[in-house]
Amino acid sequence: MNSLLTIAIPTFNRTHLLDKQLAWLANSIRGFESDCEVIISDNCSTDETKEVIQKWQHAFAATQLRINRNRENIGAIKNIAYCINNATSKYVWTISDDDTIYAKTLADVLQVLRDNADLSLLILNFSNFNIKTNQQRFTRCFDIENDDVNPNGKG
């Protein structure tokens, strides 16, 4: 049986960020292993990406985990497309290796998906922080206070 949600992590040459993301996911996915599959797509990294993935494989033993390594760098968009095209679940959540995600977010996303079986798109609010300049560009992209679910596709 297919899972409800594929969590897809395209990555390239950012082992320290991937390590943090996999730590978050390993913690957040506990209790939801059968609801999720995880795809990690390495875009032909030349750093220690392979070793970081191997380090975390045991944490996903109860989850369907698929690892892809491209033979050459195919570009970010095609790497994301690979993840989406190879997902086997009903929904796909593409997470960058540098996205900071709150601990409870995965549980919340899964609940929204369960509660809204006809949902075709879920957009999460987000902030923007530049780690190179240590500057926060904005704290919330969307100026909304509450979730808004429109199953008819009309927002």
110 falls within a domain: yes
pLDDT recorded at residue 51: 98
40 falls within a domain: yes
133 falls within a domain: no
| pTM given for the model | 0.84
Nearest alpha carbon to residue 58 among 23, 18, 13, 94: 23
83 falls within a domain: yes
Q: Of 40 and 153, which is predicted with more confidence? A: 40
12 falls within a domain: yes
Number of domains in the chain: 1
pLDDT in tens, 70-101: 999 999 999 999 999 999 999 999 998 888 78
Domain of 96?
A: 5-116
Q: Of 155 and 105, which is predicted with more confidence? A: 105
Confidence of residue 118 (pLDDT cuts 50, 70, 90): confident
Mean pLDDT, the chain, rounded, equals 87
Q: What is the mean pLDDT of residues 18-37?
A: 96
Residues 13 and 8: their CA atoms lie apart, in Å, by 16
105 falls within a domain: yes
151 falls within a domain: no
pLDDT recorded at residue 143: 67
153 falls within a domain: no
Which CATH number covers residue 11?
A: 3.90.550.10
Structure tokens at 123: 């957009």
Q: How many CB atoms lie within 10 A of CB 9?
A: 21
